[in-house]
Amino acid sequence: MTKSHPSRLLIVDDEVQIRRLLRVALETEAYEVHEAATGQLGLSEAAGVHPDGIVLDLGLPDLDGREVLRRLREWSQVPVLVLTVRDGEEDKIAALDAGADDYLTKPFSRRELLARLRAVLRRTQPSSEETIVRFSDVEIDFAARIVRRAGAEVKLTAKEYDLLRYLAQHRGRVVTHQQILRELWGANAEDSTHYLRVYMTHLRQKLEPEPRAPKFLQTESGVGYRLVES
């Protein structure tokens, strides 16, 4: 993927080794990298250098990562990718609720890191009014509300289309069950994940090459879903 303009990134992590590795991985992708070792430094650095994106470790020595997120969100909407060693989905959901755009569990691969970063950075990049999103052999035409697979139109119910559209708009990023339910069913429907499962199964059957082992409409263990483009 070619970049029109290199993005400025801030890494907030107390582990020197992680910072070093991230710097190597990101600089080879032409990102401009800044570092901070503590939450406080991270916050002042964020105010000083105005990064286009932040990679934030949740386990910081001075401030809890979520607290950093909360303070950051008081004045900035900069995309944040959270790094965590914690497996528990509660922590991930809590970070997402606190304003993180996505998360990555340590240990992670370089490929994953770059894909996630690209996806969270896209949120603030001026999208050229995309009306068509493609993944696999599927093409979603937002303007015409039409979904094609290998050129042929796929019949989707209204809810299936809404679900697909929501995932496509956030493609590459995790969306939690709660976010989807709020978006599709309104504020009071946060418990009806049962229906969400059923719609997702239908969508996969209609769009995935192998619905049993979905490649594009992925499940994030206990957290939500993610539409992956490749």
Partner 1 sequence: MSTTRRTVDTPPAPPSSWKEYVFAAVVVTAITTAGLLLPESYYVSVGLIYLLAIVLLCLRVGRGPVLMAGVLSAFVWEYIFIPPHFSFAINSLQDRLLFGTYFVVSLVAGQLTARIRAQAQNERLREQRATALFHLTRALAEAKTLDDAVFVALQQMDELFGAQTSLTLADENRTALIPHFASSYSLEGKERATADWVFRHQHNAGRFTDTPQASAGCYLPLVRENETIGVLGVKVPPDHTLTHAQQNLLEAFARQLALSVEREHLRAASEREKLLAESEKLHRALFDSVSHELRTPLAVINASADSLSGADANLRGQLVNEIRTAVRRLNRLVGNLLNQSRLESGTLKPRLDWCDAGDIVNAAVESTSDALAGHPLTIAMPEDMPPVWADFALTEHVLANLLLNAANHTPPATPIFLTTGLEPGGQRIFFAVADHGLGFSPAMRGRLFKKFIQDDATSTAGLGLGLAIVRGFTVAQGGEVVAGENPGGGAMITVYLPHPSPKAAVQA
Contacts with partner 1, residue ranges (CB under 8 A): 87-90, 107, 159, 177, 185-186, 188-189, 191-201, 212-214, 219, 221-222
Do residues 221 and 229 make contact, with C-beta atoms less than 8 angstroms apart?
Answer: no
Q: Which is nearer to partner 1, 144 or 198 (CB)?
A: 198
- To the nearest whole angstrom, how small is the minimum distance from the Cβ of residue 191 to partner 1? 7
- To the nearest whole angstrom, how small is the minimum distance from the Cβ of residue 66 to partner 1? 18
- To the nearest whole angstrom, how small is the minimum distance from the Cβ of residue 198 to partner 1? 7
Measure the CA–CA gap between 157 and 169, rounded to whole angstroms.
18
- To the nearest whole angstrom, how small is the minimum distance from the Cβ of residue 27 to partner 1? 20
Measure the CA–CA gap between 8 and 23, rounded to whole angstroms.
12
Q: Which is nearer to partner 1, 28 or 201 (CB)?
A: 201
| Neighbouring residues of 60: CB distance < 8 A, sequence distance ≥ 6 | 12, 13, 14, 38, 39, 42, 68
Number of H helices, E strands in the chain: 8, 12
Q: Which is nearer to partner 1, 41 or 166 (CB)?
A: 166
